[in-house]
Each structure stands twice: as structure tokens, then as C-alpha cells.
Amino acid sequence: MVTPKLPRFATYNYGPAVSQRVDAYWQPTPAQRAKARGAGRNTAGAAGAAQSAARPGVLIIHGGYWLGGSKDSWKYFARKLSDAGYVVLSANYRLAPKAQWPAQRDDALGALRFMKRHARTWNLDPDRIVVLGSSSGGQLATQIGTHGTGTDLVRGVVALSPPNNPFLAYKDGALTGASSRQRKLRQAVVDLVHCVPGSAEATPKAANCWKRVEDADSSTHASAGDAPMLLLHATGDFVPVAQSQGLASALRAVGVPAKVQTVQGVMHASDMLNVPGITPEIMQWIKARTKARP
């Protein structure tokens, strides 16, 4: 019986804040395995010659209303991706209400830059990275994919139940019949941008509030060259599919591929990974996006 080789694991700081940390999961190269075994000079040279080609990568961004959550919640899926041959970094980031938007996006971008800057540590190809985000982490993932020319940063974005338009989430939370989770998301938007959106006051404070709200809407950043996206919502999701339909329309209007998929059932974000066929579809999409280019 062959015992599966567990991926290497390490935690790194990508910034000075306690929350600016990433967990890395990767399969060591033959050279790294030989070094870990204390191989001599001759065998180390042979192992070095056998080093595999640089691997594609996935950056995972957790959810939690921008207020909580942890990279630890993605350990299982990170290992699954590592077993499939990816270098995986799972990131924490500064949380609201202590950190005001766009600190969360800044941290997501900071984690990605750290991943690219230290690519050789994990035998990673820095030009073959996909971002996977869940719930509020999905919104951060789509922010990365629409930041500047998104494909300069990542090959693609997979987002599960992303509230891509926080103002829409804010309004939905005030509707008659809104669920407790929708009401919680409404308050989370206020905590994220440090103001009450939609104020009719003609004041600099109100104007700055709206600028932050608009900036947090990923569709406002859509431009040619953004990263292709796979956006998933459940039919009974408290973050409705309309959150991604608007973004997908904005992306398609500038020629960027965007697929919106609905999953039958009452569930949210990573719960969809348990639906038969969804995880294989996501894995196949990531594989297609991270293929080595000739």
C-alpha cells in the first residue's frame, strides 16, 4: 500500500498586520524532497535535473461578511487542489469594521503579489494563477479580476455567491421579507464602507460614502482585458444570482467571458461544492484557464 504524500504546508506574513497572512500548500519537487532527506551532493544534482515544470496556482479568499471568517475554513479544498498539482495560497485579510474599504481589496491584491513575488519558493508559474473566492471573498476575487487589466494579474476568477454589488445587497436587506442573513449583510455593507449608503445629503461626507460604495461594486471596474469569470449562486441563495448577472453583463459588454451558473437548492457559497458535479466543473474550469501557453 502506498501512502499518499501530503503537501508541504507553511504560513507566511504578506504584510505587517496580524491578519495579513497566507497558508501555502504545495507538492515539493524531486529536488526539494531530496534536500529534505538530506541527500548528498551527487543525488541532489540528479534530483535537481529531475525537477518538474513550474506549476499553476490558486489563491483562495475566504468569506464571512467582510467581518469574520478564516483561511482555515478552506484547508480541505486547498489540499484537494494541491493534490491535483496546484500551488495553493489561502489568505486572511483585514476585516471590517476595524478596517474600512478598500483595505480588504488591498490585502487580497497584496496576497496575490506576495504569491507572485515568491513563486520560486513553491515552483509556481506566476503567470498561471486563478483566484477562488467564497461569499465576501468572492467579491474580493472579482475585484482582483477587474483591477486594471485583470488578466495581467490572474488567468481567471471563480466566485461562489459573491455580493459583487454591495449597494444592491444593502437594498435587498431592507426589503419586506428579507432573511436574517440578508439583514446581516445589509449591516455588513455599512460596516465595510463606514457610512450609510444612499444618503440624499449633498455633503462631501455623503459623496465620499458613495465613492466607496461604487468602488466596491466590481461591475464599475469592468474593462477589456479583465479576467474571465465563473460565477455561481444557488437558487435559494441569500446572495441572489442578480449579484453576478450585472457583473457578467458588464464584462461581456467589453468582450470578457463570464459564465453565471445557478445551482438548485437553498445553500450558500462553499455549500455548493457538495452538490454532485459542481466541484469537478470548477476543477475543470481552473485546469482549462491555467494551461501552459505555447
Contact 52, 120 (CB under 8 A): no
Residue ranges of the alpha helices (H) in the chain?
A: 30-36, 41-49, 75-83, 103-117, 136-145, 166-172, 180-193, 204-215, 242-253, 278-289
> Residue 198 has what pLDDT?
77
Considering the entire predicted model, what is its pTM? 0.92
Q: For residue 280, what is its C-alpha cell?
A: 469537478
Query: Measured in whole angstroms, how far is the alpha carbon of residue 137 from the centre of its chain?
Result: 6
pLDDT by residue for the chain (294 residues), tens only, comes to 444 566 789 999 999 999 999 999 999 877 767 676 665 443 333 344 335 789 999 999 999 999 999 999 999 999 999 999 999 999 999 999 999 999 999 999 999 999 999 999 999 999 999 999 999 999 999 999 999 876 789 999 999 999 999 999 999 999 999 999 999 999 999 999 999 997 656 567 778 999 999 999 999 999 999 999 999 999 999 999 999 999 999 999 999 999 999 999 999 999 999 999 999 999 999 999 999 987
> Residue 41 has what pLDDT?
45
Q: Which CATH architecture is the domain 8-289 placed in?
A: 3-Layer(aba) Sandwich (3.40)
Q: For residue 136, what is its C-alpha cell?
A: 465576501
> Residue 28 has what pLDDT?
85
> Residue 9 has what pLDDT?
94
> Residue 150 has what pLDDT?
64
Three-state secondary structure string covering 189-224: HHHHHCCCCCCCCCCHHHHHHHHHHHHCCHHHHCCC
> Residue 44 has what pLDDT?
36
Q: What is the pLDDT of residues 53-91, one digit of tens each?
A: 899 999 999 999 999 999 999 999 999 999 999 999 999
**CA pair distance 6, 126, nearest whole angstrom:** 23
Amino acid at residue number 121: T
Contact 156, 286 (CB under 8 A): yes
> Residue 201 has what pLDDT?
61
Contact 129, 152 (CB under 8 A): no
- Please count the other Cβ atoms lying within 10 Å of the Cβ belonging to residue 90: 27
Q: What is the DSSP letter of 273?
A: G
